Amino acid sequence: MPYAPEHKHATREKILESARQLFNRNGYAAVSIEEIMNGAGLTHGGFYRHFSGKGELYAAAVRQFLCTRTPPAWRKRRGPGALRKSQAQRIVEAYFSREHFEDRDGCCPLLGTASDIQRSGAAVKAAYREVAEQMVKVFEDQIDEPRVRDRALALVALCVGGMVLARNVGDPDLANDFRRAAHSEVLRIAGWN
């Protein structure tokens, strides 16, 4: 008897969540399909009922992260002035938060897999680019002044670049300095300070 569509959807979601966490934690290249399926509590053989390969799985996992459902931490309002903040401002606050910095499994895929993307296939590159473009669009929708695209691109570069540096310098004080400085510049450039 075939599985119900709900079962297939739930199984696919388990695979996507396991993949996203493992890709973020270990990088795209270092994660095997077997590890992903074990993380989902499933057997290796069931993988190909849902995805044609690891590249398609990566693409689906990163698109789901930002494009399909915004992470809960990025939606919640922080602090007393949060009611007056735009979605983009709340995303910036969440992006530079200590919680996001320390969340190796659930972080933005632009941080966790940045070094692997260049050596990956077209589907992987396209998904990474789509997530970056989605972030740019969030900022473009909030900036009402000349050179909107350039400013939005700069904000995304500061967010991702600042966090990648902070994550990889190996010095907690310098990491905090990178996070703080990048956050401050994003607020200044966007006019939110």
DSSP string spanning 93-160?
Answer: HHHTSHHHHH-TTTS-HHHHTHHHHTTS-HHHHHHHHHHHHHHHHHHHTT--SSSHHHHHHHHHHHHH
Q: How confident is the model at residue 114 (pLDDT cuts 50, 70, 90)?
A: low
Instruction: State the distance between the two ends of the chain, measured CA to CA, in whole angstroms.
Output: 60
- The structure tokens listed for 19 are 């993949």
Residue 180 confidence (pLDDT) above 90: yes
Q: Which fold has domain 72-190?
A: Tetracycline Repressor; domain 2 (1.10.357)
DSSP 64: I
Spell out the residues 6+ positions from residue 42 whose beta carbon is closer than 8 angstroms to its own: 11, 14, 15
Position 42 scores a pLDDT of 92
Spell out the residues 6+ positions from residue 127 whose beta carbon is closer than 8 angstroms to its own: 58, 59, 60, 62, 63
- Read off the pTM: 0.78
Q: How confident is the model at residue 24 (pLDDT cuts 50, 70, 90)?
A: confident
Task: Report d(CA 24, CA 167) in Å as an integer.
Answer: 12
Task: Report d(CA 122, CA 186) in Å as an integer.
Answer: 30
CATH 1.10.357.10 positions along the chain are 72-190
CA-to-CA separations, 22 to 1, 104, 121, 137, in angstroms, rounded: 32, 9, 18, 27
Please say whether the beta carbons of 16 and 41 come within 8 A.
Answer: no
Please say whether the beta carbons of 115 and 67 come within 8 A.
Answer: no
Please say whether the beta carbons of 44 and 54 come within 8 A.
Answer: no
Q: Which fold has domain 5-68?
A: Arc Repressor Mutant, subunit A (1.10.10)
Task: Report d(CA 35, CA 43) in Å as an integer.
Answer: 10
Q: Which own/partner pairs from 114-119 qualify as long-range (CB within 8 Å, at least 24 positions apart)?
A: 114/160, 114/164, 115/27, 116/27, 116/28, 116/29, 117/28, 119/29
Position 50 scores a pLDDT of 93
Please say whether the beta carbons of 105 and 26 come within 8 A.
Answer: no
The pLDDT > 90 percentage for the chain reads 38
Q: How confident is the model at residue 78 (pLDDT cuts 50, 70, 90)?
A: low
CATH 1.10.10.60 positions along the chain are 5-68
